Amino acid sequence: MKFAFTRKHALTLTGLLAAILSVVAVSGAPSAFAYNPYQYFRTQSGKVRCVVNAEWVTCEHGPGFPSAPVAADGSRPDDAKITRSGDFSWMSANIGGGSDVAEMTLYYGDTYHVNGWTVVPNVDGTRFTNDDTGHGMFVSVENVYPF
């Protein structure tokens, strides 16, 4: 069977290519992600990992956050969590994920929009703001605080 590439095929292919390019241009590569109810991130430095859900954000720093309260055993919690309503808590836990999930890298200077949160990473830390409530938290290795 022989295939003849016609003008109609060329127009269809051109239209398809134009549609793909317009989707890429509108989505803005770093700021739009395919929906994932638990989107995992790693900061550009690799020192902090976070998971963003529509209801909360949790970030972890392996050795524990120096600004966290000291536990009875002398350790510091390694997880900080903020809910969309502004409830903040410290935990000693593991956010999971690892090699089982797709983990995106947050690059300094880019703005990301995921699961109803705006994420702004900078060299001094990362700011997570809930788009509906304005509540959020700032996370860096040295300091974590809710707002």
Give the tens place of pLDDT for each residue, 55-99. 999 999 999 999 999 989 999 999 999 999 999 999 998 898 766
74 occurs within a structural domain: yes
Cα Rg of the chain, angstroms: 20
Q: Which residue carries 């788009």 as its tokens?
A: 131
pTM: 0.75
Query: Could you give the 3-state DSSP secondary structure of residue 146?
Result: strand
User: Residue 89 belongs to what domain range?
Assistant: 32-146
In a domain, 76, yes or no: yes
Assess if residue 96 is contained within a domain.
yes
The total domain count for the chain is 1
Residue with tokens 């550009």: 44
User: Which residues have CB under 8 Å from 138's CB, separation 6+?
Assistant: 125, 126, 127, 128, 144, 145, 147
Q: Which of 20-24, 75-79, 99-103 has the lowest mean pLDDT?
A: 20-24
